[in-house]
Structure 1
């Protein structure tokens, strides 16, 4: 298959007389800047192609992304139920939601767990006054959130937020008053 692809790309000619092709894997987002070819000698019967890959612009943009939106007030969406209990101890209350999640409720934090014990969402009520999002302290008011994170990337009837294709940070608001109710992070693929 690799040989066919190299033939189609014009890297090899059909009459090259090679026995083996060696190619280093290239990341799909990489841009090939230079290529070097070693010609074969009759006794070697080998033609080697190597490529030097440079990171693409899209790689740089992703690496420069300021937030992962995966940790809120010290709890990560990647934590397990055991990690949560180790970090915060026994919750003040454990409740089942109408949506079928188990919520571990602490004084200023609610963690929603799926049946398999994985964390689906983490919610901080407005009464907490502030959140720590990925290590950054942010007061729970619209001006401070916008100052820290920029203009929201999405809006909905019940709030606005930011996402990075995997996790989202959303500020939930009361639809009637517009006042902040809570700030949550959640896995966008689990919705």
Structure 2
């Protein structure tokens, strides 16, 4: 009978034998795995929208979602235009969203319909470990889309967030 139990234990990582006799080292491993899971939340396996705007949206779709902007600022060098709203600036190039910027003054951002307060710690808690750290902030990647969280070098506080297609950068 012990031989059968041993074989079952080797074949099944979640065997009743290990559950019945917990190993002290196993508890430490479970805690490490839980911390890793908490650092990489699965609710953001993709970045689809920021503040209700997709990177695939056209000018007409942005206007339908967000309404009339507070102002439109054209860039004569790139031919792009920033549609400035109270909660975000949506930059359109050739009639398609190029990127979305949310300034720290907005106080919060919305990713895939979930609101996140704009503080370094709340964003890091929501998005997990960044894939890249730069002098001016952290970059989070999900597929071809990226979110960059800019940090003020003097205060260390969150300065703003950009949502963009990493292939275009």
Common fold: TM-score over 0.5 = yes
Identify the residue that residue 128 of structure 1 maps to in structure 2.
Answer: 106
Structure 1 residue 110 corresponds to structure 2 residue 79: no
User: Residue 111 of structure 1 contacts residue 123 of structure 1 at CA under 8 Å; is this kept in 2?
Assistant: yes
Q: Using a 3 Å threshold, how does the CA distance of structure 1 residues 153 and 109 change in structure 2: closer, same or farther? A: same
Matched residue SS, 1:143: helix
Q: Give the structure with the higher percent strand.
A: 1
Structure 1 SS opposite 2:155: coil
Report how many residues are paired.
127
Contact map agreement 1:67 1:134 (CA 8 A) in 2: no
Displacement of 1:96 in angstroms is 2.3
Corresponding residue for residue 159 of structure 1: 137
Matched, 1:180 2:158: yes
- Report how far residue 67 of structure 1 moved: 2.9
4+ residue runs over 4 A deviation: none
Say which of 71, 79, 88 aligns to 1:93: 71
- The TM-score normalised by the length of structure 1 is 0.61
> TM-score by structure 2 length?
0.69
Secondary structure of 1:132's aligned partner:
strand
Task: Note the C-alpha offset of 1:121.
Answer: 0.4
The answer as to whether partners of 1:70 and 1:185 remain within 8 angstroms in 2 is no
**Cα separation, 1, equivalents of 2:43 and 2:116:** 18
SS of 2:44 mapped into structure 1:
coil
Give 1:26's aligned residue. Answer: none
Q: Which ranges of structure 1 fall in alignment gaps of 5 or more residues?
A: 1-63
Task: Determine which structure has more spread, i.e. the larger CA radius of gyration.
Answer: 1
Shift of 1:70: 2.6
Pairwise CA RMSD of aligned residues? 1.8
Q: Secondary structure in 2 aligned to 1:82?
A: helix
In the alignment, does 2:139 pair up with 1:149?
no
More helix by share: 2
Are the equivalent residues in 1 in contact too, given 2:46–2:143 (CA < 8 A)?
no
Whose relative contact order is higher, 1 or 2, with alpha carbons under 8 Å and at least 6 apart? 2
Shift of the 128–83 alpha-carbon distance from structure 1 to 2, 3 Å rule, reads same
Deviation by residue 1:52-75 (Cα, 9 ceiling, x = unmatched): xxxxxxxxxxxx783322301111
Aligned to 2:10: none
> How many Å separate the matches in 2 of 1:98 and 1:159?
28
- Distance between the aligned counterparts of 2:77 and 2:111, measured in 1? 25
